[in-house]
Protein backbone atom coordinates (compact mmCIF):
# COMPACT_ATOMS: atom_id res chain seq x y z
CA UNK A 1 0.00 0.00 0.00
CA UNK A 2 2.82 2.39 0.91
CA UNK A 3 4.50 1.66 -2.46
CA UNK A 4 1.28 2.69 -4.24
CA UNK A 5 1.25 6.02 -2.39
CA UNK A 6 4.89 6.62 -3.30
CA UNK A 7 4.27 5.94 -7.00
CA UNK A 8 1.21 8.19 -6.99
CA UNK A 9 3.24 10.91 -5.33
CA UNK A 10 6.00 10.64 -7.91
CA UNK A 11 3.48 10.89 -10.78
CA UNK A 12 1.85 13.93 -9.17
CA UNK A 13 5.22 15.63 -8.70
CA UNK A 14 6.07 15.02 -12.34
CA UNK A 15 2.71 16.36 -13.46
CA UNK A 16 3.17 19.51 -11.37
CA UNK A 17 6.63 20.01 -12.89
CA UNK A 18 5.19 20.28 -16.38
CA UNK A 19 4.92 23.91 -17.42
CA UNK A 20 3.99 26.02 -20.40
CA UNK A 21 7.06 28.10 -21.21
CA UNK A 22 5.78 29.97 -24.26
CA UNK A 23 2.61 30.89 -26.13
CA UNK A 24 2.90 32.33 -29.65
CA UNK A 25 0.25 33.82 -31.92
CA UNK A 26 0.55 34.00 -35.69
CA UNK A 27 0.64 37.60 -36.86
CA UNK A 28 -2.06 38.68 -39.35
CA UNK A 29 -0.95 37.17 -42.66
CA UNK A 30 -2.76 37.78 -45.97
CA UNK A 31 -3.85 34.62 -47.72
CA UNK A 32 -1.81 35.53 -50.85
CA UNK A 33 1.32 35.23 -48.68
CA UNK A 34 0.64 31.49 -48.80
CA UNK A 35 -0.84 31.36 -52.33
CA UNK A 36 0.63 34.34 -54.26
CA UNK A 37 -1.35 33.67 -57.45
CA UNK A 38 -4.76 34.21 -55.80
CA UNK A 39 -6.47 37.21 -57.39
CA UNK A 40 -8.15 40.08 -55.46
CA UNK A 41 -11.47 39.47 -57.20
CA UNK A 42 -11.65 35.82 -56.18
CA UNK A 43 -10.83 36.73 -52.60
CA UNK A 44 -13.66 39.27 -52.64
CA UNK A 45 -15.98 36.58 -53.94
CA UNK A 46 -14.75 34.26 -51.19
CA UNK A 47 -15.77 36.78 -48.54
CA UNK A 48 -19.18 37.08 -50.14
CA UNK A 49 -19.40 33.28 -50.16
CA UNK A 50 -18.97 33.02 -46.39
CA UNK A 51 -15.22 33.30 -45.74
CA UNK A 52 -14.97 36.27 -43.34
CA UNK A 53 -11.22 36.70 -42.72
CA UNK A 54 -8.47 36.81 -45.32
CA UNK A 55 -5.61 37.34 -42.86
CA UNK A 56 -5.94 34.49 -40.34
CA UNK A 57 -4.63 31.48 -42.26
CA UNK A 58 -4.18 28.06 -40.73
CA UNK A 59 -0.74 26.50 -40.82
CA UNK A 60 -1.26 24.16 -37.89
CA UNK A 61 -2.33 20.94 -39.59
CA UNK A 62 1.21 19.67 -39.16
CA UNK A 63 4.43 20.72 -37.47
CA UNK A 64 8.10 19.88 -37.89
CA UNK A 65 11.03 21.53 -36.05
CA UNK A 66 13.82 23.07 -38.11
CA UNK A 67 16.10 24.00 -35.21
CA UNK A 68 16.18 27.01 -32.93
CA UNK A 69 13.04 29.11 -33.26
CA UNK A 70 12.15 27.94 -36.79
CA UNK A 71 9.45 25.45 -37.78
CA UNK A 72 7.70 24.03 -40.79
CA UNK A 73 3.93 24.25 -40.66
CA UNK A 74 1.29 22.85 -42.98
CA UNK A 75 -2.07 23.96 -44.29
CA UNK A 76 -4.81 21.48 -44.96
CA UNK A 77 -7.16 21.68 -47.96
CA UNK A 78 -7.98 25.32 -47.24
CA UNK A 79 -11.00 27.27 -46.05
CA UNK A 80 -14.14 25.14 -45.95
CA UNK A 81 -17.52 25.08 -44.24
CA UNK A 82 -20.29 22.54 -43.88
CA UNK A 83 -23.42 22.97 -45.95
CA UNK A 84 -26.41 23.79 -43.77
CA UNK A 85 -28.22 20.79 -45.26
CA UNK A 86 -26.83 17.53 -46.54
CA UNK A 87 -23.25 16.34 -46.48
CA UNK A 88 -21.68 18.88 -48.80
CA UNK A 89 -18.73 21.17 -48.14
CA UNK A 90 -18.30 24.80 -49.15
CA UNK A 91 -14.90 25.72 -50.63
CA UNK A 92 -15.05 29.53 -50.91
CA UNK A 93 -11.50 29.68 -52.32
CA UNK A 94 -11.57 26.69 -54.71
CA UNK A 95 -8.16 27.53 -56.18
CA UNK A 96 -6.49 27.45 -52.77
CA UNK A 97 -3.36 25.30 -52.86
CA UNK A 98 -2.26 23.32 -49.79
CA UNK A 99 1.13 24.65 -48.74
CA UNK A 100 4.17 24.01 -46.60
CA UNK A 101 4.79 27.11 -44.50
CA UNK A 102 8.12 28.09 -42.96
CA UNK A 103 7.77 30.28 -39.88
CA UNK A 104 9.73 31.51 -36.88
CA UNK A 105 8.95 32.41 -33.29
CA UNK A 106 9.89 35.90 -32.20
CA UNK A 107 8.81 37.59 -28.98
CA UNK A 108 5.32 36.23 -28.43
CA UNK A 109 4.48 35.97 -32.10
CA UNK A 110 4.89 33.57 -35.00
CA UNK A 111 5.96 35.08 -38.33
CA UNK A 112 5.64 33.47 -41.76
CA UNK A 113 8.97 33.43 -43.60
CA UNK A 114 7.95 31.74 -46.82
CA UNK A 115 5.39 29.39 -48.28
CA UNK A 116 5.85 26.42 -50.59
CA UNK A 117 2.56 25.67 -52.43
CA UNK A 118 2.16 22.19 -53.90
CA UNK A 119 2.23 21.63 -57.67
CA UNK A 120 1.87 18.73 -60.07
CA UNK A 121 4.80 17.82 -62.36
CA UNK A 122 2.91 19.65 -65.11
CA UNK A 123 3.14 22.89 -63.14
CA UNK A 124 -0.51 22.98 -62.10
CA UNK A 125 -1.27 24.07 -58.55
CA UNK A 126 -2.70 21.24 -56.45
CA UNK A 127 -6.10 22.14 -55.01
CA UNK A 128 -7.70 21.04 -51.77
CA UNK A 129 -10.84 19.83 -53.55
CA UNK A 130 -12.09 16.27 -53.03
CA UNK A 131 -10.98 13.55 -55.45
CA UNK A 132 -14.06 11.37 -55.83
CA UNK A 133 -17.79 11.05 -55.05
CA UNK A 134 -16.83 8.98 -51.98
CA UNK A 135 -15.52 12.24 -50.50
CA UNK A 136 -17.40 15.43 -49.71
CA UNK A 137 -19.63 17.00 -52.35
CA UNK A 138 -17.92 20.36 -53.08
CA UNK A 139 -19.80 23.66 -53.49
CA UNK A 140 -18.65 27.22 -54.10
CA UNK A 141 -20.78 29.11 -51.57
CA UNK A 142 -23.11 28.62 -48.62
CA UNK A 143 -26.18 28.31 -50.82
CA UNK A 144 -24.74 24.87 -51.69
CA UNK A 145 -26.17 25.06 -55.20
CA UNK A 146 -23.07 25.92 -57.26
CA UNK A 147 -21.30 22.58 -57.61
CA UNK A 148 -17.53 22.39 -58.00
CA UNK A 149 -15.80 19.65 -59.98
CA UNK A 150 -13.88 16.89 -58.25
CA UNK A 151 -10.11 17.13 -58.60
CA UNK A 152 -8.11 13.86 -58.71
CA UNK A 153 -5.00 15.95 -57.94
CA UNK A 154 -6.59 17.39 -54.79
CA UNK A 155 -5.01 16.81 -51.38
CA UNK A 156 -6.07 17.36 -47.78
CA UNK A 157 -2.68 17.31 -45.98
CA UNK A 158 -2.61 16.70 -42.24
CA UNK A 159 1.01 16.13 -41.21
CA UNK A 160 4.50 16.68 -42.60
CA UNK A 161 8.09 15.54 -42.07
CA UNK A 162 11.34 16.70 -43.65
CA UNK A 163 13.49 14.05 -45.28
CA UNK A 164 17.23 14.29 -44.52
CA UNK A 165 19.89 15.08 -47.12
CA UNK A 166 17.66 17.59 -48.95
CA UNK A 167 15.45 14.85 -50.37
CA UNK A 168 12.22 16.79 -49.85
CA UNK A 169 9.14 16.11 -47.72
CA UNK A 170 6.60 13.45 -46.88
CA UNK A 171 2.98 14.31 -46.14
CA UNK A 172 -0.07 12.34 -45.13
CA UNK A 173 -3.51 13.33 -46.29
CA UNK A 174 -7.12 12.34 -45.68
CA UNK A 175 -8.86 11.84 -49.01
CA UNK A 176 -7.50 8.54 -50.37
CA UNK A 177 -6.03 8.39 -47.69
CA UNK A 178 -2.42 8.61 -48.80
CA UNK A 179 1.25 9.27 -48.17
CA UNK A 180 2.67 11.89 -50.51
CA UNK A 181 6.26 12.54 -51.56
CA UNK A 182 7.02 16.18 -52.41
CA UNK A 183 10.36 17.47 -53.71
CA UNK A 184 12.19 20.60 -52.56
CA UNK A 185 10.33 22.73 -55.12
CA UNK A 186 6.91 21.65 -53.87
CA UNK A 187 6.24 19.27 -56.75
CA UNK A 188 4.28 16.11 -55.93
CA UNK A 189 6.46 13.27 -57.19
CA UNK A 190 4.44 10.30 -55.91
CA UNK A 191 1.26 9.55 -54.01
CA UNK A 192 0.87 6.22 -52.22
CA UNK A 193 -2.72 5.06 -51.74
CA UNK A 194 -4.39 1.93 -50.32
CA UNK A 195 -4.64 -1.07 -52.58
CA UNK A 196 -7.80 -0.88 -54.65
CA UNK A 197 -7.98 2.93 -54.76
CA UNK A 198 -7.85 4.18 -58.34
CA UNK A 199 -6.94 7.80 -59.10
CA UNK A 200 -6.05 9.33 -62.46
CA UNK A 201 -3.86 12.22 -61.37
CA UNK A 202 -1.15 14.33 -63.00
CA UNK A 203 1.48 12.69 -60.76
CA UNK A 204 2.28 9.00 -60.18
CA UNK A 205 -0.24 7.22 -57.94
CA UNK A 206 0.89 3.89 -56.50
CA UNK A 207 -1.19 1.33 -54.58
CA UNK A 208 1.30 0.68 -51.80
CA UNK A 209 -0.70 0.91 -48.56
CA UNK A 210 -2.85 -1.80 -46.95
CA UNK A 211 -6.29 -1.79 -48.54
CA UNK A 212 -8.11 -1.60 -45.22
CA UNK A 213 -7.03 2.03 -44.82
CA UNK A 214 -9.53 2.91 -47.55
CA UNK A 215 -12.26 2.09 -45.01
CA UNK A 216 -11.45 5.27 -43.12
CA UNK A 217 -14.42 7.39 -42.09
CA UNK A 218 -15.21 10.56 -44.01
CA UNK A 219 -12.75 13.34 -43.09
CA UNK A 220 -10.90 10.87 -40.84
CA UNK A 221 -8.04 9.69 -43.03
CA UNK A 222 -4.30 9.65 -42.39
CA UNK A 223 -3.71 12.43 -39.88
CA UNK A 224 -0.39 11.53 -38.24
CA UNK A 225 3.13 11.08 -39.58
CA UNK A 226 6.42 10.44 -37.78
CA UNK A 227 9.88 9.92 -39.27
CA UNK A 228 12.94 8.25 -37.75
CA UNK A 229 16.10 10.36 -37.47
CA UNK A 230 17.82 8.43 -40.28
CA UNK A 231 14.90 9.15 -42.61
CA UNK A 232 14.38 5.48 -43.45
CA UNK A 233 11.27 4.57 -41.43
CA UNK A 234 7.98 6.40 -41.06
CA UNK A 235 4.74 5.74 -39.21
CA UNK A 236 1.39 6.89 -40.62
CA UNK A 237 -1.70 6.67 -38.42
CA UNK A 238 -5.40 7.11 -39.12
CA UNK A 239 -7.21 9.81 -37.22
CA UNK A 240 -10.07 7.59 -36.04
CA UNK A 241 -11.33 4.01 -36.06
CA UNK A 242 -12.45 2.56 -39.37
CA UNK A 243 -15.96 1.45 -40.24
CA UNK A 244 -19.39 3.03 -40.37
CA UNK A 245 -20.76 4.68 -37.24
CA UNK A 246 -24.12 3.17 -38.24
CA UNK A 247 -22.75 -0.20 -37.12
CA UNK A 248 -22.79 -0.20 -33.29
CA UNK A 249 -19.70 -2.43 -33.08
CA UNK A 250 -17.73 -0.07 -35.35
CA UNK A 251 -19.18 3.02 -33.70
CA UNK A 252 -17.92 1.77 -30.36
CA UNK A 253 -14.41 1.01 -31.65
CA UNK A 254 -11.51 2.46 -29.69
CA UNK A 255 -8.55 1.52 -31.91
CA UNK A 256 -6.94 3.21 -34.92
CA UNK A 257 -4.81 1.62 -37.64
CA UNK A 258 -1.12 2.55 -37.81
CA UNK A 259 1.24 1.63 -40.65
CA UNK A 260 5.04 1.41 -40.51
CA UNK A 261 6.69 2.35 -43.80
CA UNK A 262 10.06 1.89 -45.44
CA UNK A 263 10.68 5.34 -46.93
CA UNK A 264 14.39 4.93 -47.67
CA UNK A 265 13.41 5.41 -51.33
CA UNK A 266 10.62 8.00 -51.20
CA UNK A 267 9.63 7.22 -54.78
CA UNK A 268 8.92 3.62 -53.79
CA UNK A 269 7.43 3.64 -50.30
CA UNK A 270 6.35 0.25 -48.98
CA UNK A 271 4.48 -0.93 -45.90
CA UNK A 272 6.45 -3.11 -43.47
CA UNK A 273 4.06 -3.19 -40.52
CA UNK A 274 0.49 -2.51 -39.45
CA UNK A 275 -0.80 -2.15 -35.90
CA UNK A 276 -3.86 -1.32 -33.83
CA UNK A 277 -3.35 1.65 -31.51
CA UNK A 278 -5.76 2.01 -28.56
CA UNK A 279 -7.55 5.20 -27.55
CA UNK A 280 -8.42 6.38 -24.08
CA UNK A 281 -11.81 5.76 -22.55
CA UNK A 282 -13.88 8.77 -23.71
CA UNK A 283 -15.04 9.22 -20.12
CA UNK A 284 -11.48 10.23 -19.18
CA UNK A 285 -12.06 13.63 -20.81
CA UNK A 286 -13.67 16.56 -18.96
CA UNK A 287 -16.50 16.97 -21.47
CA UNK A 288 -18.94 14.24 -22.58
CA UNK A 289 -17.51 12.17 -25.43
CA UNK A 290 -18.34 9.03 -27.39
CA UNK A 291 -15.89 6.60 -29.00
CA UNK A 292 -16.53 8.26 -32.39
CA UNK A 293 -15.20 11.55 -30.93
CA UNK A 294 -11.75 10.12 -30.23
CA UNK A 295 -8.97 11.14 -32.61
CA UNK A 296 -5.22 10.96 -33.04
CA UNK A 297 -4.19 14.28 -34.55
CA UNK A 298 -0.38 14.50 -34.50
CA UNK A 299 2.70 12.31 -34.19
CA UNK A 300 6.44 12.72 -33.75
CA UNK A 301 9.27 10.18 -33.61
CA UNK A 302 11.17 9.97 -30.30
CA UNK A 303 13.48 6.94 -30.53
CA UNK A 304 13.59 3.40 -31.90
CA UNK A 305 9.92 2.39 -32.18
CA UNK A 306 8.56 5.01 -29.79
CA UNK A 307 6.41 7.92 -30.93
CA UNK A 308 4.64 10.88 -29.42
CA UNK A 309 0.92 10.76 -30.23
CA UNK A 310 -1.50 13.59 -29.62
CA UNK A 311 -4.94 12.25 -28.78
CA UNK A 312 -7.90 14.60 -28.64
CA UNK A 313 -11.63 14.65 -28.19
CA UNK A 314 -14.28 17.28 -27.55
CA UNK A 315 -12.63 19.24 -24.77
CA UNK A 316 -8.84 19.31 -24.93
CA UNK A 317 -6.18 16.71 -25.60
CA UNK A 318 -3.76 14.19 -24.17
CA UNK A 319 -0.20 13.44 -25.24
CA UNK A 320 1.15 9.91 -25.02
CA UNK A 321 4.43 8.10 -25.52
CA UNK A 322 3.53 5.06 -27.61
CA UNK A 323 5.96 2.14 -27.91
CA UNK A 324 5.37 -0.20 -30.86
CA UNK A 325 8.12 -2.60 -29.81
CA UNK A 326 6.44 -5.88 -29.01
CA UNK A 327 3.15 -4.93 -30.66
CA UNK A 328 1.66 -7.43 -33.11
CA UNK A 329 2.42 -6.70 -36.76
CA UNK A 330 -0.89 -7.40 -38.49
CA UNK A 331 0.79 -7.67 -41.89
CA UNK A 332 2.18 -10.95 -40.57
CA UNK A 333 -1.11 -11.98 -38.97
CA UNK A 334 -3.80 -14.17 -40.56
CA UNK A 335 -6.68 -11.92 -41.61
CA UNK A 336 -4.77 -8.91 -40.31
CA UNK A 337 -6.76 -6.66 -42.63
CA UNK A 338 -10.12 -7.88 -41.38
CA UNK A 339 -12.27 -4.98 -40.10
CA UNK A 340 -13.63 -7.37 -37.47
CA UNK A 341 -10.40 -6.81 -35.53
CA UNK A 342 -11.25 -3.12 -35.12
CA UNK A 343 -14.71 -3.56 -33.66
CA UNK A 344 -15.68 -2.90 -30.06
CA UNK A 345 -15.57 -5.92 -27.79
CA UNK A 346 -12.70 -7.66 -29.59
CA UNK A 347 -10.71 -9.75 -27.11
CA UNK A 348 -7.15 -9.06 -28.28
CA UNK A 349 -5.58 -11.13 -25.49
CA UNK A 350 -7.58 -14.17 -26.53
CA UNK A 351 -6.51 -13.65 -30.15
CA UNK A 352 -2.88 -13.20 -29.14
CA UNK A 353 -2.72 -9.65 -30.50
CA UNK A 354 -0.56 -7.26 -28.51
CA UNK A 355 -1.33 -3.55 -28.73
CA UNK A 356 1.36 -0.85 -28.42
CA UNK A 357 2.11 0.32 -24.90
CA UNK A 358 1.08 3.89 -24.07
CA UNK A 359 2.30 6.20 -21.30
CA UNK A 360 0.44 9.40 -20.53
CA UNK A 361 2.62 12.52 -20.53
CA UNK A 362 0.29 15.50 -20.59
CA UNK A 363 -3.34 16.60 -20.33
CA UNK A 364 -3.90 20.04 -21.81
CA UNK A 365 -6.97 20.90 -19.75
CA UNK A 366 -4.74 21.17 -16.70
CA UNK A 367 -3.05 24.28 -18.11
CA UNK A 368 -4.84 27.61 -18.27
CA UNK A 369 -2.69 28.67 -21.23
CA UNK A 370 -4.41 26.22 -23.59
CA UNK A 371 -7.51 27.87 -24.99
CA UNK A 372 -8.00 25.62 -28.03
CA UNK A 373 -8.68 21.91 -28.36
CA UNK A 374 -8.15 21.46 -32.13
CA UNK A 375 -4.46 20.69 -31.66
CA UNK A 376 -3.01 19.10 -34.79
CA UNK A 377 0.78 19.38 -34.69
CA UNK A 378 3.41 18.25 -32.22
CA UNK A 379 7.22 18.23 -32.15
CA UNK A 380 9.95 17.34 -29.65
CA UNK A 381 12.67 19.99 -29.61
CA UNK A 382 16.43 19.57 -29.45
CA UNK A 383 16.64 19.49 -25.65
CA UNK A 384 14.59 16.29 -25.63
CA UNK A 385 12.06 17.58 -23.11
CA UNK A 386 10.29 20.58 -24.67
CA UNK A 387 7.19 19.97 -26.75
CA UNK A 388 5.89 22.35 -29.41
CA UNK A 389 2.14 22.02 -29.95
CA UNK A 390 0.21 23.91 -32.62
CA UNK A 391 -3.52 24.43 -33.17
CA UNK A 392 -5.45 24.40 -36.43
CA UNK A 393 -7.73 27.47 -36.46
CA UNK A 394 -9.57 26.31 -39.62
CA UNK A 395 -8.74 29.61 -41.35
CA UNK A 396 -11.04 31.36 -38.85
CA UNK A 397 -14.12 30.40 -40.89
CA UNK A 398 -16.27 29.92 -37.80
CA UNK A 399 -14.27 31.58 -35.00
CA UNK A 400 -12.23 34.76 -35.21
CA UNK A 401 -9.01 33.32 -33.75
CA UNK A 402 -5.45 33.12 -35.13
CA UNK A 403 -3.18 30.08 -35.25
CA UNK A 404 -1.39 29.55 -31.91
CA UNK A 405 1.61 27.51 -30.78
CA UNK A 406 2.55 26.46 -27.26
CA UNK A 407 5.88 25.30 -25.82
CA UNK A 408 5.60 22.89 -22.88
CA UNK A 409 8.56 21.76 -20.81
CA UNK A 410 8.38 18.24 -19.43
CA UNK A 411 10.07 17.14 -16.18
CA UNK A 412 12.06 14.47 -18.00
CA UNK A 413 14.09 14.07 -21.16
CA UNK A 414 12.44 11.74 -23.63
CA UNK A 415 15.71 11.18 -25.48
Q: Is the pLDDT of residue 389 over 80?
A: yes
pLDDT, mean of residues 213-227: 96
Whole-number pLDDT of residue 8? 44
Whole-number pLDDT of residue 4? 45
Among the residue ranges 36-50, 53-67, 223-237, 354-368, the one predicted with the least confidence is 36-50
pLDDT, mean of residues 318-329: 98
Q: Is the pLDDT of residue 170 over 80?
A: yes
Whole-number pLDDT of residue 373? 83
**What is the share, in percent, of the chain residues with pLDDT greater than 70?**
96
pLDDT category, 11, cuts 50, 70, 90? very low
Q: Is residue 34 part of a domain?
A: yes
Neighbours of 334 (CB within 10 A): 6
Q: Is the pLDDT of residue 184 over 90?
A: yes
Please give the tally of structural domains in the chain: 1
Q: Is residue 194 part of a domain?
A: yes
Q: Is residue 135 part of a domain?
A: no
**What is the share, in percent, of the chain residues with pLDDT greater than 90?**
91
Q: Is residue 307 part of a domain?
A: yes
pLDDT in tens, 199-217: 999 999 999 999 999 999 9
User: What is the distance between the alpha carbons of residues 141 and 21, in angstroms, rounded to a whole number?
Assistant: 41
Mean pLDDT across the chain, nearest whole number? 94
Q: Is the pLDDT of residue 269 over 80?
A: yes
Model's pTM, two decimal places?
Answer: 0.94
Whole-number pLDDT of residue 16? 58
In sequence order, what are the beta bridge partners of 378?
Answer: 389
SS3 readout for the chain: CHHHHHHHHHHHHHHHHCEEEEEEEECCCCHHHCCCCCCHHHHHHHHHCCCCCCCCCCCECEEEEEECCEEEEECCCCCCEECCCCCCEECCCCCCCCEEEEEEEECCEEEEEEEEECECCCCCECCCCCCCCCCCCEECCCCCCCECCCCCCCCCEEEEEEECCCCEEEEEECCCCEEEEECCCCEEEEEEEECCCCCCCCCCEEEEECHHHHHCCCCCCEEEEEECCCCCEEEEEECCCCCCCCCHHHHCCCEEEEEEEECCCCCCCEEEEEEEEECCCHHHCCCCCCHHHCEEEEEEEEECCEEEEEEECCCCEEEEEEECCCCCCHHHCCCCCCHHHHCCCCCHHHHCCCCCEEEEEEEHHHCCCCCCCCEEEEEECCCCCEEEEEECCHHHCCCCCCCEEEEEECCCCCC
Q: Is residue 355 part of a domain?
A: yes
pLDDT in tens, 358-374: 999 999 999 999 998 89
Among the residue ranges 7-16, 87-96, 279-288, 306-315, the one predicted with the least confidence is 7-16
Q: Is the pLDDT of residue 197 over 70?
A: yes
Whole-number pLDDT of residue 17? 82
Q: Is residue 89 part of a domain?
A: no
pLDDT category, 10, cuts 50, 70, 90? very low
pLDDT in tens, 76-112: 999 999 998 878 999 999 999 999 999 999 999 999 9
CATH code, domain carrying 223 = 2.115.10
Q: Is residue 143 part of a domain?
A: no
Domain residues for the domain of 188 are 20-76+96-129+151-409
Q: Is residue 415 part of a domain?
A: no
Amino acid sequence: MRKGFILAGLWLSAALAQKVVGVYTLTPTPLPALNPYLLPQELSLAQAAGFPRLDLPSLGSGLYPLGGNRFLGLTDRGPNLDCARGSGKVFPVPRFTPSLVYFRLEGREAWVERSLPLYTPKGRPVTGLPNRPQDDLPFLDTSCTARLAYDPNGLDPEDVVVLPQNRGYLLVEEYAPSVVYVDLEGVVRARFVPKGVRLEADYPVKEALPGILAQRRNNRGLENLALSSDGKTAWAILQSPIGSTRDPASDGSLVARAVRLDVSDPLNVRATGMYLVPFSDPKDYPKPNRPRDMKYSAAFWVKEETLLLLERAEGWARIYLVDFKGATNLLEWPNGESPELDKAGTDYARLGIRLPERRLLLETWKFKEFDADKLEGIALLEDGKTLAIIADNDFAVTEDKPTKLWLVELPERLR
